[in-house]
Structure 1
Amino acid sequence: MTRVVLSIGSNVGDRLTRLQSVVDALGDSVRAVSPIYETDAWGGVEQGPFLNAVLIADDPDRDCHDWLRWGQELEQAADRVRGQRWGPRTLDVDIVTCHDGDTEVRSATAELTLPHPYAHLRAFVLMPWLVADPAATLTVADTTRPISLWLEDLDPAERSGVRLTDLTLHTEPAAD
């Protein structure tokens, strides 16, 4: 069985609907959903704020490369254009970590780097992840630490750019 931590974000169009589309596509695979945060754009490109969340899912029939392809398919369905690095996005689905049973999967290929190489530097990943899984750990350069400690290491300005919203993602179909 693979268990995956996904960071999802959108800052173009109906941001909430784009995030909800990922939860809906995951269906019964969803194990945890973070609250939604609004986040100042990261990476130095002038653009509007993102809505961000973290999802935890598992699926015995998917490996990490399957998760990657699935995330890219969702991005394409949302008309994601990969033009400018760290530019505006209709939908961004990033694999933060992937576990095969109790083993954290490591990958360093051109197609997939796991764990995500910048996750420990991004409050918009760490803050929602910590809420979704308070016991979570992240490995960086062969050092595994609790998410809470990686978050404490960030500049307070990085953390203050990530604001909790009152928006929610629903794991159950809406009642008619």
Structure 2
Amino acid sequence: MTRAYVAIGANLGDARATVRLAMEALDGLPRTRVTALSSLYRSAPVDATGPDFVNAVAALDTALSPGELLAALHRLEDSAGRERPFRNAPRTLDLDLLRHGDTVLHTPALTLPHPRMLQRAFVLRPLAEIAPEEVTPAQLADVADQAIERL
């Protein structure tokens, strides 16, 4: 089993309910078990438009490869009605694979660790809540100017 971290976000429809349902759905993925879930957070869109996001982070133990896990995350997004009309469009559900063990990967479909995770308070704050060893105080300080509220 490999420890993976997934960022969860939504800013269309009932975002809180969607994020909670996604948390449950992650635990139903094959050969995967949710080991920790952060609180829900509200944050303004970063490099995007639309209403505020509801965000969280989940820790998973999984036997899925990074590609298999990414495909499963995309299926969950699709089942929640996710559309991709343009880059950073508002979304019913966004699931980002942040880390998959110590995997370092750069392909057209997937980059690990996630290339922008250290620039996003909506990733680092919930990640620090469930896995403080994954986030340094300096990394949190770098995003301290981004508005985020624990719900």
- Matched-pair contact (CA < 8 Å) for 1:130–1:148: no
Tell me what 1:108 maps to. 106
TM-score, normalised on structure 2? 0.92
CA distance in 1, matches of 2:10, 2:106: 26
- Matched-pair contact (CA < 8 Å) for 2:49–2:88: no
Tell me the amino acid that sits aligned with residue 123 of structure 1. A
Q: Deviations over 1:99-118 (max 9, x none)?
A: 1xxxx001100011000000
Q: Deviations over 1:3-32 (max 9, x none)?
A: 110000000011122112222122271111
Say if 2:112 is the partner of 1:118: no
Tell me what 2:58 maps to. 55
- Matched-pair contact (CA < 8 Å) for 2:41–2:54: yes
Seen in structure 2, the aligned counterparts of structure 1 residues 92 and 125 have a Cα distance that, compared at 3 Å, is same
Tell me what 1:78 maps to. 80
* C-alpha RMSD over aligned residues: 1.3
Tell me what 1:21 maps to. 21
Superposition deviation, residue 86 in structure 1: 1.4
- Matched-pair contact (CA < 8 Å) for 2:121–2:148: yes
Aligned residues: 147
Tell me what 2:3 maps to. 3
Q: Deviations over 1:74-103 (max 9, x none)?
A: 00001100112112000000000111xxxx
Seen in structure 2, the aligned counterparts of structure 1 residues 147 and 69 have a Cα distance that, compared at 3 Å, is farther
Say if 2:151 is the partner of 1:153: no
TM-score, normalised on structure 1? 0.79
- Matched-pair contact (CA < 8 Å) for 1:35–1:164: yes
Query: Is the radius of gyration larger for structure 1 or structure 2?
Result: 1
- Matched-pair contact (CA < 8 Å) for 1:10–1:52: yes
Say if 2:149 is the partner of 1:163: yes
CA distance in 2, matches of 1:164, 1:20: 15
- Matched-pair contact (CA < 8 Å) for 2:44–2:52: yes
CA distance in 1, matches of 2:142, 2:15: 29
Report SS of the residue matched to 1:135. helix
Gaps of 5+ in 2: none
Say if 2:49 is the partner of 1:46: yes
Tell me the amino acid that sits aligned with residue 93 of structure 1. L
Runs (4+) of structure 1 exceeding 4 A deviation are none
Seen in structure 2, the aligned counterparts of structure 1 residues 147 and 84 have a Cα distance that, compared at 3 Å, is farther
Report SS of the residue matched to 1:157. coil
Report SS of the residue matched to 2:76. helix
